A = this chain, B = another copy of it.
Amino acid sequence: MKKAACTSGREEIIMSFLSTDKPKPQILDVRITAQTKVFQIQSVDLQFANGQHRTYERLTPSRRPAVMVMALEGDNLLMVREYAVGSERYELGCVKGLIDAGETPEQAALRELQEEIGLGARRLEPLRMFYVNPSHMFGPMYAFVARDLYPSVLKGDEPEPLEIVRVPLARLDELIDDDQFGDARTLAALMLLQRAIGTAK
């Protein structure tokens, strides 16, 4: 996609959403300011094109991207309910997990499916890749649709078996419309699934 018009120096009527004439800020320094078992925090010194300096913090860009799997069984989406320590409640979501070293996203998706809900899949279609939060981290997540499921259990590291929740595809709108539900990643994936299978509102 190309620029269509520029109405001023600051505005443009376009969709060239990744390209911009602006040179990127120069990264002057990157330091690790904290390190725990799971998280590493970096402090990044930047010089913007106009000469302004800023120091921003970010979680170290993930070397391990993640997968999300929308498992379809007939007219149902198989979701899981798992405890989330961030919100301190059981959250409804899709099968998901980190990609292990040496794994492709497809392999990780099939492994997580077997670990989390004890099912293999004969068909796996990529749905989309998205990011968790480009401002402070950079976690790419690959979403897949899995079909033609069959029983196949792999042992995962979950502290308790995940509750499996069958959501009729015709009722996905109820989830999408409910403010009580709502990890942005799951919400995006549900609406992408609706677009892909043609059940969007």
Contacts and interface: CB of A to CB of B under 8 A. Distances in A.
A128 to B, nearest CB: 6
Nearest to A17: B92
Contacts of A134: 84, 86-87, 89, 91, 183
A43 B36 contact: yes
Contact of A57 (B38, B43, B179): B38
A197 to B, nearest CB: 11
Size category of the A interface is 35 or more
B171 A15 contact: yes
Interface string A38-65: 1101011010111011101111010000
A188 interface: yes
B174 A50 contact: no
Contacts of A61: 86-88
Contacts of A156: none
When all copies of this chain in the complex are counted, the total is 2
Given A159-B54, A165-B14, A167-B15, A85 B39 contact: no
Contact of A200 (B1, B59, B81, B200): B200
Interface of A: 1, 10-15, 17-18, 20, 22, 24-25, 27, 33-39, 41, 43-44, 46, 48-50, 52-54, 56-59, 61, 76, 79, 81, 83-92, 128-138, 141, 159-161, 163-168, 171, 174-176, 178-185, 187-188, 191-192, 195, 200-201
Given A12-B165, A34-B36, 8 more contacts: A10-B164, A25-B83, A37-B43, A50-B159, A85-B135, A86-B135, A131-B182, A131-B183
25 contacts: A11-B164, A11-B166, A13-B168, A15-B174, A17-B165, A17-B180, A18-B92, A20-B81, A20-B90, A24-B89, A24-B90, A33-B36, A41-B41, A48-B159, A48-B160, A50-B159, A61-B87, A61-B88, A84-B134, A84-B135, A87-B131, A130-B187, A133-B185, A134-B183, A200-B200
